[in-house]
Copies of this chain bind each other. A is one copy, B any other.
């Protein structure tokens, strides 16, 4: 009997970082100290006031299903957030509460991407995107991006790479893995370019809130109400494990998302939704602002340290908690690519990072991602250890 496996599933290659993680675990179990710079989530626990709200909800018996679109009061609170944070007027009717940005990506692809159609996106980019497209028997149109465009798609890319089969463009600002942010002007040009192609724009704003140097990311909703915007409580709000996000849809799309949600996942976790009501309150926002500043300090410590080690980082990313570094200068016969480098640094320096191949194919062998989701002290220790290790092989 042959093993049954749908092509879409067989086609998924495992994340390379999983190898690194398994190896790291083994080393740790042998007593080695590992500095984790591969982790794509804040090291901070969820802020106390949010946890407290979750606890209160549980104790009050908030353990049943909610409506598929989310608690009405949470949809309202998110709409208010657009008013308070962005000065944007968004009707709660357009807010769909989801199980993470992941749930929002599932809804968007399911509702918009026809079988055989393609989503344009940047390479490097968030690795799950291509699998969401493939899951619904669509595909991607991956456009190589470099430091020259801040590792983001541009209107020119849209112009050059759009084809008959492409119907959606998916941006992420700030980006994972590069941390770079689109300006309002760039977003406008992109939005227009996509519109010219009769395409639909989807923007993943999951790292909004985590921006530095006094910079604040513009929401794509400020530019065009026809854009689909994905967001989450995972990153800025520090709620990864709660599995809660949201989607803002153009008017007229709430019903189809409701139907998809009712069938695919019924509703987002109830206690998480109640907890999230506390995330927009001042006491939680104060904690989050402090953490934002800590992330900025870490970036400011890690970036020059990596440069000094011989990594090339042509741009200073203004968001998220990642540095995407070109490691070309550090490669040699013994350590020929970023995967080998990741393995080597883990083994020899006890530092775990993510190889570029997890984010796409373009120049992936020469890049890796450092997440500054551990303390500044540990980051600098990591840099120190990497430095010692590199000396030995270069």
Q: A residues engaging B (CB < 8 A)? A: 1, 3-10, 12, 14-15, 18, 41, 45-46, 51, 54-55, 58-59, 61-66, 99-100, 102-103, 106, 110-115, 127-128, 131-132, 135-137, 167, 198, 200, 238-243, 252, 255-256, 258-260, 262-272
11 contacts between A and B (CB under 8 A): A3-B252, A6-B115, A7-B114, A9-B260, A51-B58, A55-B59, A100-B265, A102-B265, A135-B136, A241-B267, A242-B271
Q: Are A243 and B262 in contact (CB under 8 A)?
A: no
* In the complex, residue of chain B having the shortest beta-carbon distance to the beta carbon of A167: B4
User: Taking A100-B266, A132-B263 as contacts, is the C-beta distance between A63 and B271 under 8 angstroms?
Assistant: no
Q: Please, which residues of chain B bring their CB within 8 A of the CB of A10? A: 256
Q: Please give the distance in Å from A45's CB to the nearest CB on chain B.
A: 4
- Nearest CB of chain B from residue A109's CB, rounded to whole Å: 8
* CB-based contact A110/B6 at 8 Å: yes
Q: Chain B: which residue is nearest A65 at the CB level?
A: B240
A238–chain B nearest beta-carbon distance, Å: 7
Contact (Cβ within 8 A) A110 B135: yes
Contact status A269-B242, CB under 8 Å: yes
- A62 contact set on B, CB distance < 8 A: 241
- The residues of B that contact A111 with a CB separation of less than 8 Å are 5-6, 9
* Partner of A243 from B3, B41, B136, B267 at Cβ < 8 Å: B267
Contact B242 A4 (CB under 8 A): no
How far is B358's CA from A262's CA once the two chains are assembled, in angstroms? Answer: 12
* Among candidates B15, B115, B243, B263, residue contacting A12 with C-beta atoms closer than 8 Å: B263
The reply to whether B51 and A59 form a contact with Cβ atoms under 8 Å apart is: yes
Cross-interface CB contact of A99 among B99, B113, B262, B271, cutoff 8 Å? B99
- Contact partners of A7 in chain B: CB under 8 A: 114-115
Question: In the complex, what residues of B have CB within 8 A of residue A113's CB?
Answer: 6
In the complex, the 10 A-B pairs of residues with the closest C-beta atoms, listed nearest first: A241-B270, A45-B61, A46-B63, A131-B263, A137-B137, A128-B263, A9-B111, A243-B269, A12-B259, A63-B241
